[in-house]
Amino acid sequence: MGNIVSRDTHRAAFPLAGDSSAWRVDSGAVDVFFVHVNDGIVNAPYKHVLRAAEGQVIFGIDPLDLGDDGQLELWAKGLPGFSLHATTVGELIDRDDAVAAQVDQWITSFTDSVARDIMPVPRADAFVSLGHVPDLQAVKVVSARGGVVWLSGLRAASYLGLVDATDHDADWLPLTLQSWVTVSGSQDTVVAASSAQLHESGTLEEALGKFHRRLLDAERVNRLLEVVDEANLQMDRSTRRREDEEQARDELKRLFEQTDSDAAIPALHEALNAVGAYEGFEFQFPDPDPDASHGDPVVEIAFSSRVRARAVRLDSVTRWWFGDNSALLGFHSESGSPIALLPGRFGRYRLRDPATRKTTTVTRAVAGKLHKYAWMFIRPLPERPVKARDALKLFANKTGSDSIRYAVSGLIAGLISFAPAAMVAVIVDWLIPARSDGFLYLAMATLVLLAVAGCLVQLRQGTTLVHVEGRGAARLTAAIWDRLLRLKRDDVRGFKTGEISQRAFVVQALRENTSGIVSGTLSSILFLLPILGLLFLYDATLATTSLALGVLGLIVVASFGFRQVTWQRRYHDAQQTLAGDMFQFVNGIEKLRATGAESSVFAFWVRGYLDKKQAEIKVERLNALATAVTGSLPMFAAACLFAVVLMRPDGPIELGAFLAVFAASMTFFSAITRMGGSVGALASLFPAYQQLKPLFDPSLEARTSASVAPIRRIQGEVRLDHVTFSYEEAGPQVLRDVSLHVRPGEFVAIVGESGSGKSSLLRLILGLERPSTGAVYFDERNLRYLDDLALRRQIGVVMQNGSLQPGTILQNIVGINSEATLEDAWSAARKASLADDIRAMEMGMHTPVGEHSGLFSGGQVQRILIAAALVRDPSIILLDEATNWLDNKSQAEVMRSIGEIAATRIVVAHRLSTIKNADRIYVLSHGRVVQSGTFTELAAAPGTFQTLIARQVT
């Protein structure tokens, strides 16, 4: 078949000219290049196209005329020891039964060499495959799945976004996974075929020649665009230098004059800036992404700012505008324009409108013109290690007016509490000796009025305190949970799930235990101390004695508190450890019953319970002792005061003065007694903060730094490069030198025995773990330097043993506060083969989901989770044993639907029947990739995969 091209004849590069020419590599290897030639002179560097190994075929191409610029040609250069067999395409087609496979290999490599230089690569909206051409009316970008697919009948389409793909309706155009065609208009005549089918019909040679000319033309256009890109780059650099200079000048001008640059700020940004300024944080506004789906801009801004956002209802029945809560982002009901709703200084909301730049007080009429939903934002804790002052600062944010009200009411309450003592002195010293009945009635009426006033002041003080505590605790608890959700896996690896949740709720639990009692007692003592200073107006000796006894009482209370700290810490530690154990026991209750381990679990629980109970008993004993000692303080103080009176060197004290000092002192000592009764709650403050330190101490990764690349719409390419991983630094390696590559749109399966590292590999892809060595890449960008939170928003994940959340089916699919619609939920349900099941339910999408999903079968739960993973049109879908509860029919329907999705799919599967159509399968064993290939290839080769098949068959 043809002539032999000697390995000695062509050591230099030589042209592959002629559409009808072909060469088979008999030995060695041959590199193929694009070459730009003008008058026989090579005008540009060679561009490598592919390397053909022994047994492969390379095809000739007629040079593409570039006019005065010469020609674009295809050349070859053999490696040492190569030899070629020259033939023709026609002869190759007639004599070689495997020509279709050779053509597919050539087209794939040839296309990749051109497509890899085109940026950005559009994300495919649909994929064609042999026997399946989707409806192309609603799509723009089409690619191929499952090898080379030839399309005919395309109308109004461009190939690779560079050249016309519709010279004639009957033309055949090959698509691969790395190439695409952009279509518009009606495409109802498109048909698909394989190279083998074209071979049988006798049209393969003609179709291959037209493909060569299109691809050469695409390479020509791409080279022209590269020249334009270089020119634009130079212009952009010049423009940026000029803009930087102008910006520097403007900044200098702002030092001396006021500009109106704020007028250019969008209304939404200005409203959010007002909300952020009130709450004490700054919003980060991302640049618009033309490739991104048009979701809610508030959600995108909040995510970029690392601020949690939730929708709240503005119900006029509750008269929300009289509240004093967080700042809100609201909207006009008619125009939809954004406004900032800011709490007033004394408890009434103000409306700030960016459009009019006016601030008005919210009334019922104003509230009626607003949209019924608004956005509330949760201020986060710092990304650095959190100190106690950071938590207190967040807790006390915007409490200035409340603090003033509380202080004023506290001082008034202190004065009122001193009034009876002062009135007793007046009555005893003046009114009774004077027998003035009228003034006695007046004194009685005054005391009644003071009692009413004291009640109102105490009510106001208590209301203010509850408001401050409630709002502060809610903010701090939400910020703690936000921080917990953003911690790295290594930061919480040593804690059990139940233990972590207990630590996160410690602020709320502390508030429930100490609310009112401790704060009220402390405030009473603080506000009564200055009042005791007034006693010096009556008698300095008695006043000094009272103050000394008061300080002594505080020292006694503090000593009991310090003695309790150690036991309080032990109590909290034991309680959280027990909560973590109980969470694990409940989750594993079926396994415990199956293995008959109830007795062992009970014995284990008893040990933890005893630790908790011993610490609790010790705390209660110290509490009882503190209560007893401080309870006797008023009597002891009274005896001391009487003793001082008896031993006065300067004679007896006036009865009125003594009674005033005595009454005020007893009020003060009663407060100390109440404080002694709550010393346990006081002593729990420090251990409670210690419980939060594991959540506060780690430093979060700063996602706003220059070292982290922003994430736009990813194409879906995933690559692991020589990854080694272990959960502990000195622990066993779970993954060992693992390398795999998933191209955009591919269906790749990962299989292996239990413990082979499959789930760990998915955790690395999700960024939940970091490789010990090696790297994970998305679209050729290292995950270590990407915003993994933004990345995970573009990944749909269904993990094994997933569960539903209480709510409705709709909420479980689209989530809460999601921009996804009901129609999006139905579309995802159809893809997950769930739509018929939901229609059969009486309440449809609004069917309630209970705590344990008891109304749904295991298969329905899995399909709801799959629908939730698909609802946001992810670029990558990760399924970890996600169909193990489905019957064969449902499993086939789900996998067929997932197979039609224009996304990269990575599936960890135990049931091998789910991955027969995978483009590639990686087989893991003991943390290593031991095999890779298609299902058919692996099933025919001896090895681990064959063993797995045999186990499932038998």
- What residue type is 252 in one-letter code? L
Contacts of 530 (CB under 8 A, 6+ apart): 411, 414
Q: Residue 264 has what pLDDT?
A: 40
Which tokens hold the place of 664?
Answer: 């005020």
- What residue type is 305 in one-letter code? S
Q: Are 16 and 23 in contact (CB under 8 A)?
A: yes
Q: How do 904-908 and 747-752 pair as beta strands?
A: parallel
Contacts of 18 (CB under 8 A, 6+ apart): 60, 61, 62
Contacts of 16 (CB under 8 A, 6+ apart): 23, 32, 58, 59, 60, 61, 73, 74, 75, 76
Confidence of residue 323 (pLDDT cuts 50, 70, 90): confident
Percent of the chain with pLDDT over 70: 84
d(CA 418, CA 538): 13
d(CA 692, CA 689): 5
d(CA 601, CA 605): 6
User: Which whole-number Å values give the CA distances from 307 to 279, 320, 697, 705, in the listed order?
Assistant: 11, 23, 20, 16
Give how far the C-alpha of residue 355 lies from the chain's centroid of Cα atoms, to the nearest Å: 33
User: Is 928's pLDDT higher than 90?
Assistant: yes
C-alpha dihedral, 264 to 267 to 271 to 274, nearest 10°: 10
Q: Residue 61 has what pLDDT?
A: 92
Q: Are 739 and 720 in contact (CB under 8 A)?
A: yes
Question: In the chain, helix, strand, coil percent, each to 5?
Answer: 50, 20, 30
User: Position of tokens 């969470």?
Assistant: 583
| Residue 556, φ and ψ in degrees, nearest 5 | -60, -45
Segment holding 113, helix H or strand E: helix 99-115
d(CA 166, CA 302): 45
d(CA 99, CA 197): 11
Q: How many CB atoms lie within 10 A of CB 383?
A: 17
Edge-to-edge strands of the sheet including 876-880? 795-798, 876-880, 904-908, 747-752, 920-925, 928-933
pLDDT per residue as tens digits for the range 480-506: 888 887 777 667 666 666 667 777 777
In eight-state DSSP terms, residue 382 is: P
User: Is 604's pLDDT higher than 50?
Assistant: yes
Give how far the C-alpha of residue 904 lies from the chain's centroid of Cα atoms, to the nearest Å: 21
Contacts of 28 (CB under 8 A, 6+ apart): 7, 54, 78, 79, 80, 81, 82, 83
Class of the domain covering 388-696: mainly alpha
Counting beta carbons within 10 angstroms of the beta carbon of residue 498, is it exposed (0 to 12), middle (13 to 18) or buried (19 or more)? buried
User: Is 359's pLDDT higher than 60?
Assistant: yes
pLDDT per residue as tens digits for the range 178-233: 899 988 877 777 889 999 999 888 899 999 999 999 899 988 888 888 777 666 66
DSSP-assigned states of every residue in 473-527: HHHHHHHHHHHHHHS-GGGGTTS-HHHHHHHHTHHHHHHHHHTTHHHHHHHHHHH
Top-confidence range, 2-16, 32-46, 641-655: 32-46
d(CA 937, CA 922): 12
**CA atoms 682, 686, 690, 696: torsion sign:** positive
d(CA 508, CA 501): 12
User: Position of tokens 């706003």?
Assistant: 704
d(CA 802, CA 819): 23
Q: Residue 98 has what pLDDT?
A: 82
C-alpha dihedral, 248 to 253 to 258 to 263, nearest 10°: -30
Q: Where are the domains of the chain?
A: 1-96, 266-378, 388-696, 718-953
pLDDT per residue as tens digits for the range 112-132: 989 888 877 888 888 888 877
User: Is 720's pLDDT higher than 90?
Assistant: yes
Q: How do 172-175 and 181-183 pair as beta strands?
A: unpaired
d(CA 945, CA 752): 8
d(CA 375, CA 275): 10
**CA atoms 345, 351, 354, 357: torsion sign:** negative
C-alpha dihedral, 804 to 807 to 809 to 810, nearest 10°: -120
pLDDT per residue as tens digits for the range 380-396: 888 888 888 888 888 88
d(CA 911, CA 949): 9
d(CA 221, CA 637): 98
Q: How many CB atoms lie within 10 A of CB 952?
A: 10
pLDDT per residue as tens digits for the range 534-586: 777 777 888 788 878 877 877 877 787 778 878 888 887 788 778 777 877 77
Confidence of residue 148 (pLDDT cuts 50, 70, 90): very high
The residue among 581 and 516 whose pLDDT is bigger is 581
Q: What is the mean pLDDT of the chain?
A: 80
Confidence of residue 166 (pLDDT cuts 50, 70, 90): confident
In eight-state DSSP terms, residue 117 is: T
Top-confidence range, 123-137, 255-269, 878-892: 123-137
Least confident of 312-326, 467-481, 506-520, 929-943: 506-520
Confidence of residue 531 (pLDDT cuts 50, 70, 90): low
pLDDT per residue as tens digits for the range 760-817: 999 899 888 889 999 999 988 898 888 877 888 889 888 877 788 888 899 889 876 5
d(CA 617, CA 184): 77
Q: Residue 322 has what pLDDT?
A: 84
CA Rg value for the chain: 39
pLDDT per residue as tens digits for the range 689-716: 777 777 787 766 544 444 556 667 788 8
Confidence of residue 51 (pLDDT cuts 50, 70, 90): very high
Q: Residue 262 has what pLDDT?
A: 42
Q: Are 687 and 569 in contact (CB under 8 A)?
A: yes
Q: Are 59 and 102 in contact (CB under 8 A)?
A: no
Top-confidence range, 347-351, 417-421, 666-670: 347-351
d(CA 345, CA 322): 11
Contacts of 834 (CB under 8 A, 6+ apart): 860, 863, 864, 866, 867
Q: How many CB atoms lie within 10 A of CB 820?
A: 19
Q: Residue 238 has what pLDDT?
A: 61
For 569, left (φ over 0), alpha (ψ -120 to 50), or beta?
alpha
| Residue 536, φ and ψ in degrees, nearest 5 | -65, -20
3-state secondary structure 825-886: HHHHHHHCCCHHHHHCCCCHHHCEECCCCCCCCHHHHHHHHHHHHHCCCCCEEEEECCCCCC
User: Is 256's pLDDT higher than 60?
Assistant: no
Least confident of 309-313, 459-463, 933-937: 459-463
Classify domain 266-378 at the CATH topology level: Cathepsin B; Chain A (3.90.70)
CATH number of 1-96: 2.60.120.10
Class of the domain covering 718-953: alpha beta
Q: Residue 780 has what pLDDT?
A: 86
Query: 311-315 — which CB contacts under 8 Å span 24+ positions?
Result: 311/373, 311/374, 311/375, 311/376, 311/817, 312/373, 312/374, 312/375, 312/376, 313/372, 313/373, 314/367, 314/370, 314/371, 314/372, 314/373, 314/374, 315/372
User: Which whole-number Å values give the CA distances from 360 to 146, 353, 354, 656, in the listed order?
Assistant: 63, 9, 12, 56
Give how far the C-alpha of residue 420 lies from the chain's centroid of Cα atoms, to the nearest Å: 59
Q: Closest by alpha carbon to 49, among 110, 107, 106, 119?
A: 110
Q: Closest by alpha carbon to 874, among 293, 467, 369?
A: 293
d(CA 697, CA 386): 6
Q: Residue 358's beta-bridge partner residues?
A: 353
End-to-end CA distance of the chain: 49
Which tokens hold the place of 333?
Answer: 């009901």
pLDDT per residue as tens digits for the range 297-314: 888 888 888 888 888 888
Q: How do 141-144 and 126-128 pair as beta strands?
A: parallel
